[in-house]
C-alpha cells in the first residue's frame, strides 16, 4: 500500500472520529452547529423509507442515566424504534389512553371536579384499563399564580388554594401513584379558545417554547410524563415543509421539540398534522401527508411520535363520508394521510383524538367501527376523546361523572394494551395508602401558659381508615412537671360520636420534652378514602419556660400557615397501628420506656 493511500485512510479515520464525537455532543444538546439536520432524513440520518428494524430496540440516543423518579425508583423512559415504542429495558409498549380535558378552560382544572374527587376519577380511569392520560392545558393555565376554580373543595380538600401549575403537578403525582402515564398537550394559547396557529399576538412563539422548556425541566426524571404534544390541531394557514417560519408547522415543531429535548431528552415529542397540505384538505391536525417529503428532525434521535386526530360525520361532515364506497374508502384515506408513517416504519403513530356516540349502522357508527378495526390491524396506539361527558362526541363517563358509557367502553376495551407501569405499590391502578395531618395553631392565652391548636386527618388513599387505628402526636417543651397536671381539653364537635382521648408522655430527651398523644376510641368512626376527618381542637396548660419563645415547641417551630388556615404540617406526627405514617419526629425523640 502506498504512503499516499495510508495518509488518505488516516485522514478518513480522523474525520469519522470527529464526526462521531460531534454527533454524540449534538445528541446531548451541545455544539449543535456541528450536526445540522439534513432534509429528507430521519433523526440519525436514516432515510424515512427504510424500516428501522430491531437495531434501535435499545435507545440509540446514548444518553446518560436519567435522574431517579420522585419515589426513588429508576426512571424508565420511552423511545421509538421504527413504528414501535420501547421502554428503557427494550420492551415494546403501546399507548392506549384517554383525554381528560378541562385545564384548557378558565377553571384550569380537568373536568368533573365539581362532582367528584379527582383521585376517584383517576382510580376509575385505571380500573377501566387505560394506561395513559392526555391532559390538555392552555398557556394561561400555567401562568404563575393562576388560581384554579370550578372545584368542589369539600370533595377535593387537597386542591384548595392551588395554582394551575400546582394542579398539573398533583395530576402527575396521582397518575404516578397508580402506574398511569401522562402526555401533556398544549391545547390552546388561552382559555378563550383554539387558534389556527401555535402562537398569537398575545402568546407569541417565544412564550410557547419557553413554556415547553419549563415543563420539560420540571418533570425531568419523572417518567410518569412520557411525552409532550406540542400544539393542538394546527389548521387554516398552517403549512408543512414550505419553509415559511410564520406558518410552517414542521419547522415550528422542530424548534419547540429541540427546546424540549434540551431540557429533558428522555421525553417523546408528539407532533400533530395540519389541515391543508398543498391542495389536500383533511381534519384539523390530521393531515400528515407532508411527512413523506419533510419529516420532523430532532437532535435527539428516536423521539418523534406522529399524532393525527380523526373524527366522524357527527362532528363535521366531510366529502369522504359521501363516497360511493363509504365506509370501505376510509382505510385508504387514513393510509394516505397518516397510516403510511406507521406502515413504512418512519415513526410510530398514536391517534391523539377520536371519538363518537355511535357504533351502529349510521354513518358515524360505521366510521368509528372502521377506525377501530384499522387501529387494531395496524397496532396503532390511541387516546380517546374524551373522559368528559360534555363534548359533542360524548364521554367515557356519563353526565353524572360516575356512570360508564357501556357501549363505548365495550368497543374500546378489546384494543387496550397492557399498563406501562405498576406504580409504587407494584399493582397497576392501586394507589398507596397515605395519611396527612392538616394543622392550625389557634389563639391561646400566653400569660397562663396555654397552648391551643386544631388538626384534621386527611386520608389521601384508596381505603377507608378506622379512626381507632390512628394516633396524633404534638411535640412540645415545658418545665419539668408531673404530666397529669397539664390538663388537655379536647373538642371534637365535627366528629359526632367520636371519643377522643389525650395523654402527655415524657420522651427520652430529658425532663423538658414531651408529646401530647391523641387517640380515638373504638366506635369513633372512620375517614372515607380521599376525605378529611372533622376538626379536633386541643387546649392544654403547660408551665412556662421564661427563656423559651412561644414557638419553641417542635410542632409549631417554623409554621408558615396564616392564622385561621389549615396547612399540611409534618411536625405533628401521625401513626397508623403504632407505626409512623406521616411527619418527622424530633431527632432522637421517642417515648420514654
Over residues 101-121, mean pLDDT: 98
The better pLDDT of the pair 564, 297 is held by 297
- Checking if the pLDDT of 213 tops 90, the result is yes
Q: Are 484 and 561 in the same domain?
A: yes
Catalytic residue among 104, 272, 353, 471: 353
1 lies in a domain? no
Note whether residue 331 is domain-resident.
Answer: yes
**Residue range 34-43: average pLDDT?**
32
Active site residue 491: no
Helix, strand or coil for residue 506? strand
Residues 6+ apart with CB under 8 A from 431: 119, 122, 123, 174, 177, 178, 423, 425, 461, 462
Judged against a pLDDT cut of 80, whether residue 37 lies above it is answered with no
Q: Within this chain, do residues 175 and 226 fall inside the same structural domain, yes or no?
A: yes
Residue 33: band (very low, low, confident or very high) from pLDDT cuts 50, 70, 90: very low
Grid coordinates in use for 31?
A: 455544539
Q: Which of 104, 233, 275, 333 is catalytic?
A: 233
Most confident residue range from 349-353, 446-450, 507-511: 349-353
Check residue 591 and report its DSSP letter.
B
| 561 contacts 456 by C-beta, under 8 angstroms | no
**pLDDT > 70 in the chain, percent:** 85
From 415, 447, 480, the end of a domain falls on 415
- Based on the fold, state whether residues 466 and 327 are members of the same structural domain: no
> What angle separates helix 205-218 from helix 249-263, to the nearest 10 degrees?
30
Q: Is residue 288 part of a domain?
A: yes
Buried b (16+ CB within 10 A) or exposed e, 519-546: bbeeebbbbebbbbbebbbbbbbbeeee
Domain shared by 370 and 510, yes or no: no
Last residue of a domain, one of 415, 443, 469: 415
The answer to whether residue 46 scores a pLDDT higher than 90 is no
- Give me the helices (H) in 315-395, please: 330-334, 340-343, 363-378
Angstrom distances, CA of residue 413 to CA of 97, 98, 191, 308, 564? 11, 12, 32, 21, 48
Residues sharing a CB contact under 8 Å with residue 60, sequence separation 6 or more, in sequence order: 44, 79, 301, 302
For residue 142, being part of any structural domain is answered with: yes
pLDDT of residue 253: 98
Cα–Cα distance for residue pair 34/16, rounded to 1 Å: 13
Q: Any idea which of 18-32, 207-221, 430-444, 569-583 has the lowest mean pLDDT?
A: 18-32
Among 146-160, 436-450, 463-477, 571-585, the range scoring the smallest mean pLDDT is 436-450
Whether a cis peptide bond, with omega within 30° of 0, leads into 386 is: yes
Least confident range from 369-373, 446-450, 518-522: namely 446-450
pLDDT per position as a tens digit, 278-289: 999 999 999 999
Q: What is the mean pLDDT of residues 467-488?
A: 82
Q: Per residue in 513-530, pLDDT tens?
A: 889 999 999 999 999 999
Residues constituting the chain: 593
Structural domain contains residue 168: yes
Domain limits for position 504 = 435-582
Task: Output the pLDDT for position 134.
Answer: 98
How confident is residue 246, by pLDDT bands cut at 50, 70 and 90? very high
Task: Give pLDDT tens digits for 395-418.
Answer: 999 999 999 999 999 999 999 999
Q: Do 501 and 408 have their domain in common?
A: no
Supply the mean pLDDT for the chain. 88
Q: Is the domain of 321 the same as that of 468? A: no
Residue 84, SS3? strand
User: Do 479 and 379 fall within a single domain?
Assistant: no
> Residue 277 sits in a domain of what CATH number?
3.20.20.80
Examine the domain organization and report whether 411 and 465 are in the same domain: no
In a domain, 122, yes or no: yes
Q: Give the tens place of pLDDT for each residue, 130-160.
A: 999 999 999 999 999 899 999 999 999 999 9
- Is the pLDDT score of 18 beyond 50? no
Within a domain: residue 70?
A: no
Percent of the chain with pLDDT over 90: 74
Say yes or no: 410 and 443 in one domain: no
- Average of pLDDT values for 331-342? 98
Domain count, the chain: 2
Residues 183 and 246 in one domain: yes
Mean pLDDT calculated for residue range 453-462: 94
**pLDDT greater than 90 at residue 171:** yes
Same domain? For 301 and 396 the reply is yes
Band (321; pLDDT cuts 50, 70, 90): very high
Mean pLDDT of 256-275: 98
Q: Would you call 104 a catalytic residue per the annotation?
A: no
Q: 549 CB contacts (<8 Å, ≥6 apart)?
A: none
Cell of 279: 391542495
Pair 392, 456 in one domain: no
| Mean pLDDT confidence for 200-210 | 98
* Final residue belonging to a domain, choices 415, 448, 481: 415
Which are the contacts of 5, defined by CB distance < 8 A and separation ≥ 6? none
For residue 479, the model assigns a pLDDT of: 73
Burial of 284-300, coded b for 16+ CB within 10 Å and e otherwise, reads bbbbbbbbbebbbbbbb
Question: Is 430 part of any domain?
Answer: no
The more confidently predicted of residues 587 and 486 is: 587
Amino acid at each position: 500500500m502506498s504512503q499516499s493511500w495510508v495518509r488518505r485512510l488516516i485522514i478518513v479515520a480522523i474525520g469519522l472520529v470527529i464526526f462521531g464525537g460531534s454527533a454524540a455532543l449534538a445528541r446531548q444538546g451541545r455544539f449543535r452547529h456541528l450536526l445540522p439536520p439534513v432534509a429528507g432524513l430521519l433523526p440519525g440520518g436514516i432515510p424515512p423509507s427504510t424500516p428501522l428494524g430491531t437495531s434501535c430496540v435499545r435507545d440509540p440516543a446514548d444518553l446518560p442515566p436519567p435522574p431517579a423518579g420522585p419515589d426513588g425508583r429508576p426512571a424508565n423512559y420511552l423511545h421509538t424504534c421504527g413504528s414501535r415504542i420501547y421502554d428503557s429495558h427494550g420492551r415494546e409498549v403501546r399507548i392506549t389512553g384517554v383525554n381528560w380535558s378541562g385545564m384548557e378552560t378558565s377553571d384550569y382544572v380537568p373536568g368533573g371536579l365539581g362532582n367528584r374527587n379527582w383521585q376517584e376519577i383517576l382510580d376509575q380511569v385505571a380500573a377501566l384499563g387505560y394506561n395513559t392520560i392526555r391532559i390538555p392545558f392552555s398557556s394561561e393555565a400555567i401562568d404563575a399564580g393562576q388560581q384554579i376554580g370550578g372545584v368542589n373543595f369539600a370533595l377535593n380538600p387537597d386542591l384548595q388554594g392551588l395554582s394551575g401549575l400546582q394542579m398539573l403537578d398533583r395530576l402527575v403525582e396521582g397518575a404516578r401513584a397508580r402506574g398511569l402515564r401522562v402526555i401533556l398537550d398544549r391545547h390552546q394559547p388561552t382559555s378563550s379558545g383554539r387558534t389556527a396557529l401555535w402562537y398569537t399576538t398575545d402568546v407569541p412563539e417565544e412564550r410557547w417554547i419557553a413554556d415547553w422548556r419549563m415543563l420539560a425541566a420540571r418533570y425531568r426524571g419523572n417518567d410518569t410524563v412520557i411525552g409532550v404534544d406540542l400544539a393542538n390541531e394546527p389548521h387554516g394557514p398552517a403549512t408543512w415543509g414550505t419553509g415559511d417560519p410564520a406558518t410552517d408547522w414542521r419547522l415550528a415543531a422542530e424548534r419547540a421539540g429541540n427546546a424540549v429535548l434540551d431540557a429533558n431528552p428522555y421525553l417523546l415529542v408528539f407532533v400533530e398534522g395540519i389541515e391543508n397540505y398543498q391542495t389536500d384538505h383533511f381534519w384539523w391536525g390530521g393531515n400528515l401527508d407532508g411527512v413523506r417529503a419533510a419529516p420532523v428532525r430532532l437532535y435527539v434521535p428516536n423521539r418523534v411520535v406522529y399524532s393525527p386526530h380523526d373524527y366522524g360525520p357527527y362532528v363535521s361532515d366531510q366529502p369522504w363520508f359521501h363516497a360511493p364506497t363509504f365506509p370501505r374508502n376510509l382505510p385508504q384515506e387514513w393510509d394516505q394521510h397518516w397510516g403510511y408513517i406507521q406502515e413504512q416504519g418512519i415513526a410510530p403513530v398514536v391517534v391523539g383524538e377520536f371519538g363518537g356516540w355511535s357504533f351502529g349502522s349510521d354513518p358515524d357508527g360505521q366510521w368509528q367501527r372502521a377506525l377501530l378495526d384499522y387501529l387494531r390491524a395496524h397496532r396503532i396506539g390511541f387516546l380517546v376523546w374524551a373522559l368528559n361527558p360534555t363534548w359533542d362526541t360524548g364521554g367515557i363517563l356519563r353526565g353524572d361523572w360516575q356512570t360508564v358509557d357501556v357501549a363505548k367502553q365495550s368497543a374500546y376495551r378489546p384494543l387496550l394494551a397492557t399498563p406501562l407501569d405498576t406504580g409504587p405499590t407494584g399493582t397497576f391502578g392501586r394507589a398507596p395508602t397515605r395519611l396527612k395531618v392538616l394543622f392550625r395553631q389557634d389563639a391561646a392565652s400566653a400569660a397562663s401558659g396555654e397552648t391551643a391548636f386544631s388538626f384534621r386527618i386527611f386520608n389521601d388513599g384508596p381505603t377507608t381508615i378506622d379512626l381507632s387505628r390512628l394516633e396524633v402526636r404534638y411535640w412540645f417543651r415545658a418545665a419539668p412537671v408531673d404530666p397529669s397536671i397539664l390538663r388537655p381539653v379536647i373538642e371534637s364537635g365535627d366528629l359526632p360520636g367520636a371519643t377522643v382521648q389525650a395523654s402527655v408522655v415524657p420522651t427520652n430527651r430529658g425532663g423538658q420534652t414531651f408529646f401530647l398523644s391523641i387517640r380515638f376510641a373504638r366506635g369513633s368512626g372512620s375517614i372515607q378514602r380521599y376525605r378529611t376527618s372533622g376538626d379536633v381542637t386541643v387546649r392544654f396548660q403547660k408551665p412556662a419556660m421564661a427563656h423559651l419563645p412561644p414557638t419553641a415547641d417542635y410542632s409549631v417551630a417554623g409554621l408558615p400557615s396564616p392564622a385561621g388556615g389549615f396547612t399540611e404540617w409534618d411536625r405533628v406526627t401521625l401513626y397508623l397501628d403504632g407505626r409512623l405514617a406521616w411527619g418527622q419526629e424530633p431527632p432522637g425523640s421517642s417515648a420514654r420506656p
